[in-house]
Each structure stands twice: as structure tokens, then as C-alpha cells.
Structure 1
Amino acid sequence: MSSILTNTGAMTALQTLKMVNRDLGATQGMISTGKRVATAKDNAAVWAISKAMESDVAGFKRISDSLSLGQATIDVARNGAETVTDLLTQIKGKIVASQEENVDRTKIQADIDALRDQVSAVVNASQFNGQYMLQNTSTDANSGGINVLASIDRASDGSVTSTDIRVAKQDLGTGAQSVSATGGTFTASEATGTLNATQSVNIDLSGVTVEAGKAFALQIFGTDADDSSFTQADYRNSAAAAMTQAEAAGASVVYVARDGETAEDVAGKLAEMYATYVAEQGLDTNDFNVTANGSGLTVTSGVTNATDTIAVTVASVGADANNTIGGRLQALADIDVTTQSGADSALASIDGLIDTAIDSAAAFGSAQMRIETQSDFVTGLTDALKSGIGTLVDADMEETSARLQALQVQQQLAVQAMSIANNAPQSLLSLFR
């Protein structure tokens, strides 16, 4: 049936033309934006995933900046530590030269003083954007290192957390420490042990609280009234069996802990300081010796017996006494080779200082390598995320171009079909002629 009121063919052609024009508009949008999912209405699920991933990419870009800043900071610190190591090696050479009797020790001491001043200059100059990594004398919590933002981690529930690389400061300062003789919390015995016929005892410090500004003193109290096994006076640094705070403050073997250190660090430092003390006093390590064993001290003697004993105690002066933290190279200030005994003492202590500088440089080197590895990983991960986002939302330009040409042909055919459908009622006029 033909009708001049209802043109079904034209309506069908119109719907077809509308669909073709809609698809053509979408295809032209893909070509102009380069994306097949440009807005949420294109594909809500894919769009949401892509936006979450894009936010991660933006975060990882900031992480790359953080890692670059951290890497630069640690690089400066490592170079500073390596330079200090070289300077200490030069000082050792001067100390060795001073062992000869027929040398001008005064001039050698002048050279050592100049090198020591240069060590301080290097430590003070080794900073990046105001961050000093070769100084750590603050009692503030968490001041003993820096956190370098390393990653953001997205959990399965959608929550996001950050991950840091902690880089500890490696103090190479030469400033002197001080311990308050009064005030604060004084503990006469944090840990103790007695050398007797067993001639060996371990002093466990693992349960001792270590905090920045807390001082630890090594008390030695030997008992040999007739000096038959050892000279009693040589192994007493307190007037009575219990050390007083004033005696702890003036002890030759006393160490003020810094932020981030543990019982193992304290034990190592006490043992190192005792080795220097032995050299200075000309004592025999067979009579009495102290070495570190992890988070404790091993104390030995080849001369004690059931009656001639040596009690060893670690006392402490709390951080609330306002002690001053010294530099880890503070023993440099005590080097004096103008006398033979001073030259001997300096030779005993310099290797420990060099080891401290070497350990510091090595620690920075390890941290720098880790940051570089993380930086490479973040760069690769960012590229992978970008590629993944592109796979989700980018348009296939070859396919889109071919589709555009096909839709243009369809549009032309739809327009032609529309024209034919609109002309169909004209044929009815011939019936009325």
C-alpha cells in the first residue's frame, strides 16, 4: 500500500542516516583525540581504570623527582666520606713518620692539625640543599637519617600507601662530647660482669635502652690488694664498687649515643674507645681486654683468679641530663705526636678512625646503589603503565581511518536512499493523469 501521509521508506532511510552520522561523528572524534575512550560515556569501566592508572603515573613522576634528589644528596655525602677517608690516610702517614725519633714532631703535628681542620671543612661543606649527611649530633627523634620516597603501592582494596628508603646519617664530625656530672637520670649498672678464675665474661647490652643523648660509661673495678696478679690501681676508674655520675662523666671510656644507634653500636664504640685507652696508658691487653660481640661486650683477662678479680659495669647517664653528642671522629682532637707516648697512642687510634670513615663511605655507596636501582625500576614501571593505558584507551588509527572511509560511503548511500524514499510518493501523481 502506498501512502502520501506515511512514508515508511523515508523513515527507515532517516534512521539509517542518523546511525551512520552518529558513528561517523564518533570515528572523527577518535581521529581528532587519538583515543577510543576519551570520556566516561565512551566506556565507563575502561575510562575509570585508565584514570586510576594515570594518577599512578603522575605519582611515579613525582617519585622519580624524589629519587633524583635523594641520589644527589647521597652522592655528595659519599664523596665527602671518601675525601675524609683520604685525609685520614694522610694523617696516618704523618703518624707513622712521627714514630722515628730523629724527626721534627712539632712540624709533623702542625701538618696533622691542618689535615684535621680540612676534615672538619669537608664535613661542614658536604651538604645538598641544606641537608647534612655527615653530621648527626641532634637529640631530636628520627634526626639520624632521611627518608627518600621510593614507591607508591596500590593494594587490592584500592588503598594506596607510600614506601620510603631510609638512609642513615654517618657522622664524621670532630666535635667533642660532654657528659653531665649532675642532673638527669643516672643508672650505676645497666649491665655487669666479674672476671675471676673463669677469666672471661660476656656483658649483654641487648636489653639496654639506647636513645640519642644517653651516655654509657665503662666502669672497671679491680681487686688485688697486694698487686700480685695485676696492679690494682691500673684497673680502677672509680673510688668504690659503684660508680658515681661524676665519675661516669669523667671516665676515659664513655660514649654518648646518637639518634638511630643501637646496643650494637654502643658496644662497638666502647670497645674501640677502650683500645685507644689501653694504648694511651700502656696497659697489657692480656691483663684486661674489652672487645665487642654484637650487642654486648666480651671481657677477658689472663691473670685474674678466685681472689684477684676485676668487675666490669656499664653505667649510664640519661639523655635528660643534656649531654652533648660528639663527632665520631672526635678522637682526632686528641692526637698529639709531639711525644713518643702520644705518637704510639695516635697510631693505635687512627686505624679505628679510618675504619669509621670507610664504613661511612661504604654505607652511602650501598644506599646510592639502592636508590639508583629503584629509580631505574620506577622509570621502567612508569613506561609500562603508560603503555598499558594506551592499550586501554588509544584508538587504532589504521582501523579508524578505514572505518572513516567506510562510514563516509555509507553516509552518501544513506543520503541517496533518503532522496529515493522521499521521491517515491511522486509516482502516485501518474495515477491521477
Structure 2
Amino acid sequence: MPFNSVNTNVGAMVALQNLNQTNGELMTTQARINTGKRVASAKDNGAIWAIAQNQRATSNSLNAVKESLQRGQSTTDVAISAGETISELLLQMKEKALAASDTTLDANSLAALNDDFTSLRDQITKAVDNAVFNGANMVEASGTTVEAIANADASSVITVAAQDLSLSGIGLSSGSSIGTTSAASAMITTLNSAITDVSSKLSKLGTGSKSLQSHLNFVMKLQDTLDAGVGNLVDADLAKESAKLQALQTKQQLGIQALSIANQSSSILLGLFR
């Protein structure tokens, strides 16, 4: 048998509890829609939030890895450009040496060829001196070896060794010349060796640059995968939340109506005293 009391309105209490629950769910849904996240803070889901934060930390660390790899690649590419220039200069120097080895040349012609040769020789030094990126020069004597960070905790690096392309590093000197026919003939052998040496060193630099680019591509894909994984953990399904919002708004209106009806029930008791 229902208990009628003006002090305790059980129906209103139940209606209010249900309305409060609906309002709480509505606030949660609105927050998800506003932020776009199902787990926006630790209180939403502590375990998932902690996992997501760890993955975000790794993803953010990969930004520094990418920057290190890009700097290393740029430094290496500058060195390669200098090396290719030096290789072309050596080919031109060999051409001058071959021409100067002709015993029928007169002194004026030989002097002109030697001037061209020494000018090309000095350009090698200029190319080496100017092959600098971010303060690093990989092709000078005792050049800088690139060590690019390879992972998020900096426990691994990708190394590209410096290659000495200075005159002394490739078997020439600042005094190398073809002032005489015999000097020109001897210089041909020296230049052949220098060309082979430069080609070998350029090959090593090219392999290093390719390795840096390959790892950079991997790191970029890894970062995208991590970001997608974090999204799967914390992002809200907005289509689902929108449908839920409509349902909760309807429940809220019905709850208000139910509470209003329950609050009116006690006034019915007045009819008993008329």
C-alpha cells in the first residue's frame, strides 16, 4: 500500500536521482563533443590516459629524431656536392696534364696549361673549405663525422664517417703542378689515383645519405602510426556521441516532467482535508 507523506516524497526523490544521472551523462557527452576525446583526462580512464601519454611522449620525441636525421642528411649532402665538384675538377686537371705531357708543346703553351691546372687545383681547396653545413665540414682534413639520433631514447645513432677530400687527403699538394712535360706525365698517374679515391669516398657518403633518408622515412611512418594509435585510444566517435546527445536531451526533458509530476503529488493530499 503506498505511503502518503508530505515530509518524504519518495516519487520526487527517485525522479530527482534519475534526472541527476541523466544530467551527468549529458555533461560527459557534451565534454566529449567539445574536446573530440573520449578520454581527455586521467579521471575519464586512468589506465588508457596513462598509455596514451606514454605514446604521445614517444611520438613527440620522434620530432627530435627527425630533426637530427635531417641535419645529418643535409650535412652529408653538402659534402657530396663538394665531392662531386672536386671529382669534376680532377677530370679537368687530368685533361690539362695529358695535354701538357705532349713533348711538342712550346714553353708558352706549357705555361698556360700549368696556370689552368693550378687554378683548378686551388678550386679544390675552396670547395673543401666551403662545404660547411651547421658548422660541420665532412670533407676537410679531420672532418666532422655525422652521428644522427636514430630512436626516441637516443640509445642508437646512425653514423656517416667523414671523408678527407682535401688536397693531401687525395694524394695532391698545394704545390702540385705540370710545369714540365715530365711533371705532367707523372701527374697523370697521381690524378688517376685521386679520381679513384674521390669516387670511393663519394660512394661512402652517398650510402650514408641514403641510409639517413631511409631511416627518416621509417621514423615518419612510425610517428604516424603512434599518433593513430593514440587516437584509437582516446578519440570520441562523434557520430555516436551526437546520437547519444539527442537521446539524453530527450531523457532530460522527460525527467524534468517526471519530477514536476512527483512534486505535485503531495498537494493531492490537501483534498483529504476538505
TM-score, length of structure 2 as denominator length: 0.93
The corresponding residue for 1:178 is none
8 Å contact kept, 1:136–1:144: no
The corresponding residue for 1:345 is 186
1:77-109 superposed Cα distances (whole Å, 9 cap, x missing partner): 100000000000111111111221012333222
8 Å contact kept, 2:171–2:190: no
8 Å contact kept, 1:123–1:134: yes
CA-CA distance at 1:372 after TM superposition: 1.3
Task: Note the residue ranges of structure 1 that are not aligned, 5 or more in a row.
Answer: 138-142, 153-159, 175-326
SS at match of 1:328: helix
Q: Does 1:65 align with 2:32?
A: no
8 Å contact kept, 1:14–1:418: yes
8 Å contact kept, 1:335–1:342: no
Q: RMSD value over aligned CA atoms? A: 1.6
Residue identity opposite 1:16 in structure 2? N
The corresponding residue for 1:53 is 55
The corresponding residue for 2:159 is 166
The corresponding residue for 1:268 is none
Q: Does 1:112 align with 2:117?
A: yes
More helix by share: 2
The corresponding residue for 1:146 is 146
Q: 1:69 to 1:161 in 2, by over 3 A?
A: closer
CA-CA distance at 1:5 after TM superposition: 1.7
Partners of 1:136 and 1:339 lie apart in 2 by 29
SS at match of 2:40: coil
TM-score, length of structure 1 as denominator length: 0.60
1:340-395 superposed Cα distances (whole Å, 9 cap, x missing partner): 43233212211111112112222221111111111211111111111111111011
Partners of 2:89 and 2:111 lie apart in 1 by 19
Partners of 2:49 and 2:249 lie apart in 1 by 28
Partners of 1:336 and 1:432 lie apart in 2 by 129
Q: How does 1:395-406 map to 2 (within 5 A)?
A: 395-406=236-247
Task: Note the residue ranges of structure 2 that are not aligned, 5 or more in a row.
Answer: none
Partners of 1:382 and 1:111 lie apart in 2 by 53
CA-CA distance at 1:150 after TM superposition: 2.4
Residue identity opposite 2:12 in structure 1? A
Residue identity opposite 1:81 in structure 2? G
Residue identity opposite 1:403 in structure 2? K
1:105-156 superposed Cα distances (whole Å, 9 cap, x missing partner): 332222111110010011111111221111133xxxxx6512112222xxxx
8 Å contact kept, 1:151–1:163: yes
SS at match of 1:166: strand
CA-CA distance at 1:162 after TM superposition: 3.2
The corresponding residue for 1:5 is 7
Partners of 1:27 and 1:136 lie apart in 2 by 66
Aligned with residue 25 of structure 1, among 13, 17, 27: 27
Partners of 1:372 and 1:98 lie apart in 2 by 44
Following superposition, which runs of at least 4 residues in structure 1 exceed 4 angstroms of deviation? none
Q: How does 1:359-374 map to 2 (within 5 A)?
A: 359-374=200-215
More strand by share: 1
CA-CA distance at 1:405 after TM superposition: 0.7
Aligned positions, number: 269
Q: How does 1:5-404 map to 2 (within 5 A)?
A: 5-103=7-105, 104-137=109-142, 144-152=144-152, 160-174=153-167, 327-333=168-174, 335-404=176-245
8 Å contact kept, 2:78–2:133: yes
CA-CA distance at 1:334 after TM superposition: 5.4
The corresponding residue for 1:200 is none
Partners of 1:328 and 1:96 lie apart in 2 by 23
